[in-house]
Amino acid sequence: MRLAILVYLAVIACVSLTGCAFITKADPPPLRQAPPRQPQDVRTPLPPQQKTPVPPDHVQAQAPGRVQAQAPSQPRSVLTGVYIQLDTGWSWAANAGMTNTTPRPAGSNCLMQAFTVPPAHVCAGTLNNLGTSPIIGFGVGYRLPRGIRVDVTYDNRSGYNLSGTSPTGVNFDPKVTANTVLFNGYYDLPFKIGERVRPYVGGGLGWSKNKVNNINYSEPGPPPGAGQVPGGSKGGLAWQLTLGAEVQVTDNWVLDIGYRYVDLGKIETAAGPATAGQPFNADNYTTPLQGKLRANEILFNVRYGF
């Protein structure tokens, strides 16, 4: 009995003082952990790219969240496509060579001068000076590829004056007007002067209606006299040749300056008696005058392209 009590007390003392490892086992201390590692990018080889079909424009437009890239707008060329133009300028007429036609065999009446050579009757003398005239007109055209341009133009010339004096001293002063429609073609030369000036050449064919007003005449005499003889109008083939340069002001506006030679066909008067004043000659009857209307011109255009 005493021995059991002593053993019990000894066990209690061992547990209290030394822990008695052989009876209870303490937990081991926690292990020290390594610092956390930063995540690394793991790269794996990509599969070969596959070409995906491009959906139509209307499908792309309907795809949500997709922004379509728009190509930058390209600058327009000079008067690309359809254009309209206004024309102005000045015309210097060449010698008209206006002469009397051969008179009627029964008549002896020449407006300029008469030479009686039996059995024929020949008229001599000319009116040459047509002077100058302003030009007013407009046109519609189209610029084609490769520097080619075509247009249709209408021009009015109403300032010519066929003034002159016959060999016998009779003075004449008729006004002459030309209304002309031309179909023109132009070619831009393949170089520029500076950045905005491009030379061109061109030509055209068309129709011109030329009118000579009634001819006022006066003669010093004796006895002095004055009056009118018939004028007339004539329509016929017209043509032109042009050399010029166009200046691009903006994408739509162009200024054009050029030289042009025009042949507007014939001018002529009608036969008939004097309509006013004293009789021009014995039977008061004149033969027609015939000549040509040709001119050198400086032309200015303002064109607007759509």
| Residue 9: per-residue pLDDT | 63
Task: Report how far apart, in Å, the C-alpha atoms of 193 and of each of 63, 80, 189, 251, 260 are.
Answer: 49, 20, 11, 18, 20
- Taking only the tens place, the pLDDT of each residue in 57-107 is 554 444 444 545 555 444 445 446 999 999 999 999 999 998 887 665 555
Give the whole-number percent of the chain exceeding pLDDT 90: 41
- Taking only the tens place, the pLDDT of each residue in 280-290 is 555 567 778 89
Q: List, in order, residues 6 or more apart from 138 with CB less than 8 Å away.
A: 84, 85, 86, 87, 153, 154
- Measured from the Cβ of residue 20, the count of other Cβ atoms closer than 10 Å reads 12
> Comparing C-alpha atoms, which of 104, 154, 289 is closest to residue 212?
289
Q: Which residues pair with 225 in a beta bridge?
A: 219
Alpha-carbon span 268 to 101, nearest angstrom = 10
159: Cα separation from own chain's centroid:
27
pTM of the complete model: 0.69
184-223 per-residue burial string, b: 16 or more CB within 10 A, e: under 16:
bbbebeeeeeeeeebbbebbbebebbbbbbbbbbbbeeee
DSSP notation for 209-264: EEEEPPEEEEE--SSPEEEEE--EEEEEEEEEEEEEEEEE-SSSEEEEEEEEEEEE
Contact in structure between 155 and 137 (CB atoms under 8 Å): yes
Q: Which residues pair with 179 in a beta bridge?
A: 156, 209
**Share in percent of the chain as helix, strand, coil (round to 5):** 5, 50, 40
Alpha-carbon span 244 to 201, nearest angstrom = 6
| Residue 281: per-residue pLDDT | 57
200 vs 105: which has the higher pLDDT: 200
- Measured from the Cβ of residue 182, the count of other Cβ atoms closer than 10 Å reads 23
- Measured from the Cβ of residue 26, the count of other Cβ atoms closer than 10 Å reads 7
Q: Is residue 302's pLDDT more than 70?
A: yes
Q: Is residue 160's pLDDT more than 80?
A: yes
Q: Report the run of H or E that residue 59 belongs to, with start and end.
A: helix 57-62
> Comparing C-alpha atoms, which of 211, 277, 209, 202 is closest to residue 240?
202
User: HSE-up of 171 (CA within 13 Å, CB side)?
Assistant: 9
Q: Is residue 138's pLDDT more than 60?
A: yes
Maximum average pLDDT range among 141-145, 168-172, 228-232, 286-290: 141-145
Model confidence band, residue 222 (pLDDT cutoffs 50, 70, 90) = confident
- Taking only the tens place, the pLDDT of each residue in 1-23 is 565 565 566 555 554 555 544 44
Q: Is residue 56's pLDDT more than 60?
A: no
| Residue 276: per-residue pLDDT | 64
Q: Is residue 248's pLDDT more than 70?
A: yes
Model confidence band, residue 34 (pLDDT cutoffs 50, 70, 90) = low
State mean pLDDT over 251-274: 91
Q: Write down the domain spans for the chain.
A: 81-305
Q: Is residue 179's pLDDT more than 50?
A: yes
Model confidence band, residue 230 (pLDDT cutoffs 50, 70, 90) = confident
Model confidence band, residue 215 (pLDDT cutoffs 50, 70, 90) = confident
Q: Is residue 166's pLDDT more than 60?
A: yes
State mean pLDDT over 295-301: 97
Mapping DSSP to helix (H, G, I), strand (E, B) and coil, where does residue 102 land? coil
Tokens (6 digits) for 11: 């066990």
State mean pLDDT over 43-51: 60
What is the largest distance, in Å, between two alpha-carbon atoms of the chain?
197
81-305 CATH: 2.40.160.20
Contact in structure between 303 and 247 (CB atoms under 8 Å): no
98 vs 243: which has the higher pLDDT: 243
| Residue 92: per-residue pLDDT | 97
- Measured from the Cβ of residue 1, the count of other Cβ atoms closer than 10 Å reads 5
